[in-house]
């Protein structure tokens, strides 16, 4: 969801946040992969992504979930954010 060059925590481009969150402006439900998520885990519309995506920044959760499977990452994010 984020740039790999974020000044705070690095985004590992796992793509899990682009699946876990619901994004109403994109008509995307929680747990559904965003149509703009590319296979390399990056955003296909990065310069035009919705505000909600711009506001999301990588944090310690990204580090904590690194060793998990993709499905586990999505589930952990959903649980942490109460989805
Ligand atoms: S628009 Fe881009 S940043 Fe937002 S959920 Fe989709 S792929 Fe991720
Ligand atoms: S969950 Fe974290 S590491 Fe994975 S793509 Fe989103 S911001 Fe990047």
pLDDT in tens, 22-80: 999 999 999 999 999 999 999 999 999 999 999 999 999 999 999 999 999 999 999 99
pLDDT higher than threshold 60 for residue 3: no
Examine residue 47 and state whether it is found in any structural domain, yes or no: yes
Ligand 1 interacting residues, C-beta cut-off 6 A: 1, 18, 23, 34, 36-37, 43, 45, 49-50, 53
Split into its structural domains, the chain has a count of 1
Examine residue 4 and state whether it is found in any structural domain, yes or no: no
Question: Cα separation of 28 and 65, whole Å?
Answer: 22
Examine residue 32 and state whether it is found in any structural domain, yes or no: yes
Kindly give the distance from the C-alpha atom of residue 25 to the centroid of ligand 2, in angstroms, as a whole number.
20
Ligand 2 interacting residues, C-beta cut-off 6 A: 1-2, 11-17, 41, 58, 62
Can you tell me the mean pLDDT for 12-17?
Answer: 96
Examine residue 73 and state whether it is found in any structural domain, yes or no: yes
Report the atom number in ligand 2 closest to the C-alpha of 18: 6
Kindly give the distance from the C-alpha atom of residue 18 to the centroid of ligand 2, in angstroms, as a whole number.
8
Examine residue 10 and state whether it is found in any structural domain, yes or no: no
CB–CB of 70/14 below 8 Å? yes
């Amino acid at each position: 969801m984020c740039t790999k060059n974020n000044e705070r925590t690095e985004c590992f481009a796992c793509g899990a946040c682009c699946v876990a969150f619901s994004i109403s402006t994109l008509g995307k439900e929680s747990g559904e992969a965003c149509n703009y998520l590319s296979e390399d885990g990056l955003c296909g519309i990065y310069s035009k992504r919705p505000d909600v995506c711009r506001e999301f920044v990588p944090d310690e959760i990204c580090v904590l979930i690194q060793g998990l499977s993709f499905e586990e990452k999505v589930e952990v994010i959903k649980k942490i954010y109460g989805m």
